[in-house]
C-alpha cells in the first residue's frame, strides 16, 4: 500500500475527525479510503450512463432475427 500525505485546513481536519468518530471508522485513512472508493464507483456509474446514452443515441441496427439468420447461413456454408 502506498502512503500519501495531504494538507488540510483546520476546519476540514475537524470535520474529518468528527466523521471518523460518528461513523465508526477506525482511522482517518479508513474514512478517506472509503470516500475515494465511493467516488470511484460514482465515476464508473457516470461512465456507464454515458455509454448507455451513446448507445441510445446511435443509429438503430438490424433486428436480431436478421442478424441471426445471417449467422446461421454463414455457419451452414462454412467448411468444417
pLDDT at 6: 95
Question: What are the two backbone dihedrals, phi and then psi, of residue 17, each rounded to the nearest 5 degrees?
Answer: -55, -45
In this prediction the pTM is: 0.66
Residue 13 CA to residue 21 CA, distance in Å, equals 12
What is the domain partition of the chain in residue ranges? Answer: 10-75
pLDDT tens digits along 10-50 = 999 999 999 999 999 999 999 999 999 999 999 999 999 99
Amino acid at each position: 500500500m502506498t502512503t500519501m500525505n495531504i494538507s488540510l485546513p483546520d476546519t476540514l481536519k475537524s470535520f474529518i475527525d468528527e466523521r471518523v468518530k460518528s461513523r465508526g471508522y477506525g482511522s482517518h485513512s479508513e474514512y478517506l479510503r472509503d470516500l475515494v472508493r465511493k467516488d470511484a464507483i460514482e465515476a464508473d456509474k457516470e461512465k456507464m450512463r454515458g455509454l448507455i446514452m451513446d448507445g441510445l443515441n446511435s443509429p438503430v441496427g438490424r433486428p436480431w432475427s436478421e442478424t441471426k439468420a445471417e449467422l446461421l447461413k454463414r455457419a451452414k456454408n462454412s467448411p468444417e
